Amino acid sequence: MLEKFKIGHADNADVATGVTVILAEEGATGGVSVRGSAPATRETDMLNSDNSVDKINAVFLSGGSAFGLDTAAGIMKYLSDKGIGYPTSAKNIPIVCGACLYDLDYKGVSYPTPEMGYQASFRAAVNNFEDGDIGAGKGATVGKIFGAQSAVKSGLGIATYKFNDGVEICAIVAVNAFGDIYNYKTGERVKGATHNGGEVKMSEAIAHSTKAIEWKSSNTTIGCILTNAKLTKSQANKLADIAHDGYAMSIRPVHTLVDGDAIFTMASGDVKADFMRLSCYAPIIMAEAILNAVK
């Protein structure tokens, strides 16, 4: 499934941080949508539909907040060593986009390095749909209305689907949200904030709590939609934007002033697709991936 993409991870369990890399060595049409107000991102402007580069070679999801952006150097080196990238007169330049989440207060201040970016790229493989406490999800937590003391462990989630016309779609997401996580099918809360050993519903706490709420920009849910569909750059951007509805289906509250929520799209362009159907399903597959991240 999705044979043109390779997924790889590198992480450090001792300090709970890591990186997840999605490679498209032959290039993929890229798009992005940033809805959060506290993002740490790389090369998002280039994905604007009006700008010139259509194909990207990698998307990374990383811990470490803005420090984690350095992992791109390792991914660049791996791809450059293989001669992959946008052709110029001097050298092929790998097009590497990505975003980072904040995990600096989970088990100490540490962050992914360029070496980890290279390692994740080297390990990347087709059909590597392993998820859980891995890669970018290594230090992820949710339910942070009272800061780290109310947070509970989350992780990296992946979900896939194949339509009967051969179109394939995958959602990859590292869930490090300020809000709680809900089952989009039943409406029940799956995982979220705690206080004094008991559960705290975010909506009620925001409205009625006498305890100080920690409005800190230390949260971010970052993801990527992969598909073998043939998309224009404009459609890739739209698909990323629509996929944010999957966040809204599963995370409450979402897209807050203290979240840096972002979603990328990578489309390999192998199969002609009904974009309306693909865009209607993107939020569902993203919501499913979010559930898998907290299971």
Q: How confident is the model at residue 210, as a pLDDT?
A: 61
Report the distance separating Cα 290 and Cα 41, nearest Å.
Answer: 20
Q: How confident is the model at residue 209, as a pLDDT?
A: 67
Q: How confident is the model at residue 52, as a pLDDT?
A: 84
What pLDDT, in 10s, does the model give residues 51-92? 888 899 999 999 999 999 999 999 999 999 999 999 999 999
Give the pLDDT band (50/70/90) at residue 194.
confident
Phi-psi region of 132 (alpha: psi -120 to 50; beta: other; left: phi over 0): left
Q: How confident is the model at residue 145, as a pLDDT?
A: 85
Q: Which CATH superfamily is domain 6-294 in?
A: L-amino peptidase D-ALA esterase/amidase (3.60.70.12)
Q: How confident is the model at residue 157, as a pLDDT?
A: 98
CB 250 within 8 A of CB 289: no
| Residue 283 in tokens | 């939020």
3-state secondary structure of 201: coil
What pLDDT, in 10s, does the model give residues 200-256? 777 777 777 666 677 777 899 999 999 999 999 999 999 999 999 999 999 999 999
Report the distance separating Cα 7 and Cα 216, nearest Å.
Answer: 31
Q: How confident is the model at residue 204, as a pLDDT?
A: 73
| Residue 143 in tokens | 């339910």
| Res 137 pLDDT > 80 | yes
Percentage of the chain with pLDDT > 90? Answer: 81
Most confident of 146-150, 184-188, 195-199: 184-188
Q: How confident is the model at residue 261, as a pLDDT?
A: 95
Report the distance separating Cα 67 and Cα 107, nearest Å.
Answer: 16
Q: How confident is the model at residue 269, as a pLDDT?
A: 96
| Res 117 pLDDT > 70 | yes
What pLDDT, in 10s, does the model give residues 160-193? 999 999 999 999 999 999 999 999 999 999 998 8
Q: How confident is the model at residue 109, as a pLDDT?
A: 85
User: Which range, of 3-7, 81-85, 211-215, 284-288, averages the lowest pLDDT?
Assistant: 211-215
